[in-house]
Amino acid sequence: MLTFLDIINHYFGYLNINGRVKNRLFSVICLIGDFYLLYKSVTYFKAQAVGRGVINLLVFLVLFYFAVMNLYFYYRGKNAVIDISPYVEKALGGDPNAPHPLNGVTAKTQVISQIQPATGLFEEQNLLPAQLTMDAEQTQRLGSLINELIESGYLSLNYAGLSDNDIYEQAQQLQRPIYAIGNQVALPFYEMKQEADRWVLYGGINAIAKQPLAQITTVGLTPIQDLAQDYQLAVAHTWITGGPNKMAGRSGVVEGNDPYQLVVQIAYQERTK
């Protein structure tokens, strides 16, 4: 049974899925696997091996309890009132300063963010999100750019100095990972250029070192080619998001790592006729 679970864990490693979703799947699989112990217990009782049957039954009940608590946590987003796992972790040497899920601690509402306007100010009602596509070369350029920004000190991977306790509280309240670089960080330089029938997003550590990073395909729900016929378009914001992160586990933070991505907002204004 353990070999079977190890095989599943191995193949899950190839899937690029959210850690919380993966934990949900594992909780269901482990609950199903737990019933193997119940089957063995019944088998021992039938064979009149009462001692082994009782031991297997007790182990089944203990594991069944924790499996159900896992299901409750990962599907409801909070610990059950009768969940003793945080106390067990503390008794086994866990961090005594970690926020306890049963204490009702209210998470701080602060979200790490480093947003810096670079192309002027725009009215919110004139902004639309853009959808991007990136080829392999552009993805590699973005990775190199981010490494350069980290080396230069522009991007910091220190969670804005927050402790694991603060990160845990924020992740619990927001129900999403807290990223090491912050929620989103403005790209130092960015601009959009029309090249034939394509609109290309350029970016870099400065205007001299700019490179094509992505192609803008749609703005809002409209293909950019159609929108550009009637509106003037400009890139209002370009943010970096993703990377190393921490999520709220059952009684502490769990580390993860998401691909870095660009988030773009386009400003539009109707053309004068």
118's enclosing H/E stretch is: none
Q: What's the pLDDT tens digit per position in 175-208?
A: 889 999 988 899 999 999 999 889 999 999 999 9
Q: 3-state DSSP: the chain helix, strand, coil percent, rounded to 5?
A: 45, 25, 30
Residue 231: helix, strand or coil by DSSP? strand
More confident residue, 34 or 244: 244
pTM: 0.57
Report the greatest alpha carbon distance in the chain. 93
**pLDDT 10s digits, 116-169:** 555 677 788 889 999 999 999 999 999 999 999 999 889 989 888 888 888 988
Q: Give the per-residue pLDDT at 200.
A: 96
pLDDT digits (tens, 9 = 90+) for 226-269: 999 999 999 999 999 999 999 988 778 899 999 999 999 999 99
Judge whether 195 and 228 are in contact, CB under 8 Å: no
The mean of the pLDDT values for the chain is 81
Average confidence (pLDDT) over 74-83: 72
Q: How deeply is 55 buried, as exposed, middle or buried, from its count of CB atoms within 10 A (0-12, 13-18, 19+)?
A: middle
Yes or no: say if 269 and 232 are a contact pair by the CB < 8 Å rule.
yes
Q: How many CB atoms neighbour CB 270 within 10 A? A: 9
